[in-house]
Amino acid sequence: MRTRQGTALVTGASSGIGAAYARRLAGRGWDTLLVARRAQRLEDLAERLREVTDTTVETLVSDLSDPDDLARVVRRAADGDVGFLLNNAGINGYGPFAELEPQLMTKVVDINVRAVTALTRAALPAMLQQGRGTVVNVASQLAFAGALPPHPLPERAVYAGTKGYVVTFTRTLAAELAGTPLRVQVLCPGLTATEFHRSRGEEPVPGRDESVHEDGGMPVGQVVDASEAALENGEVVCVPGLRDPAPIDGLAEAELAIRTAARRSGG
């Protein structure tokens, strides 16, 4: 007899961090609600999870940049049974900002910002009512790379901006919920061994099997390990591979210094 944990909603579950996290959660007894654009990938993962973990798996084939699809997932997230929300879906839309296609730019913002915000808002009330719940929003180390030039980093103004929003949104929400039993984390991986860089996001990477882009990176299992360890330690900002928390602590100290100085100067 397995211990039922509740339902975990995982977006971007068809590959990479989303698929790895879904496997980890199902292995710990969570029923899963898998959301992504690729139906066959979702069904393959769902079948494996059912066979290996004996958990209930639901799939929702959805493009979170589509208002109707997002509304459908939001309604499901608000049903009251979601105890773990992993907002992992994201696309990069890399390229020179002055040449970025407006449709792709909008898609990046819709998936990376709008969907994260709407799904968190949908799931949170029931978590608060039940007195338990976890929200993990996946950002990126590029959220902290605003002043760094491209090459070798990608041209990324919109992507980095959206991930900066995810960092600030999650940290601020965590502060708001500090007196509750809920756990809130922003996961900021660096280069990870997934297929993320094989597409700018207009369309998902084709094929039934997961792949890895040529740049390689940290194995997805290590990213999930870092996230789980940070949740256990109550850490809001998780940067896999960062052993010394001083830079994160320094970020909060710098923010306080800026606000304090601005008030003293009358700004």
Is there a contact between 141 and 188 (Cβ–Cβ < 8 Å)?
A: yes
Q: Is residue 165 flagged as an active site residue?
A: no
Phi, then psi, of 33 in degrees rounded to 5? -120, 105
Fold of 6-264: Rossmann fold (3.40.50)
The predicted structure's pLDDT at residue 206: 81
Arithmetic mean of pLDDT, 66-88? 98
pTM (2 d.p.): 0.94
- Domain ranges within the chain, ordered by starting residue: 6-264
Residues 6+ apart with CB under 8 A from 129: none
- Hey, is 140 helix, strand or coil? coil
Is there a contact between 74 and 122 (Cβ–Cβ < 8 Å)?
A: yes
Is there a contact between 63 and 113 (Cβ–Cβ < 8 Å)?
A: no
Per the prediction, the chain carries an average pLDDT of 95
Of these residues, 21, 94, 159, 165, which one is catalytic? 159
The predicted structure's pLDDT at residue 210: 79
The predicted structure's pLDDT at residue 21: 98
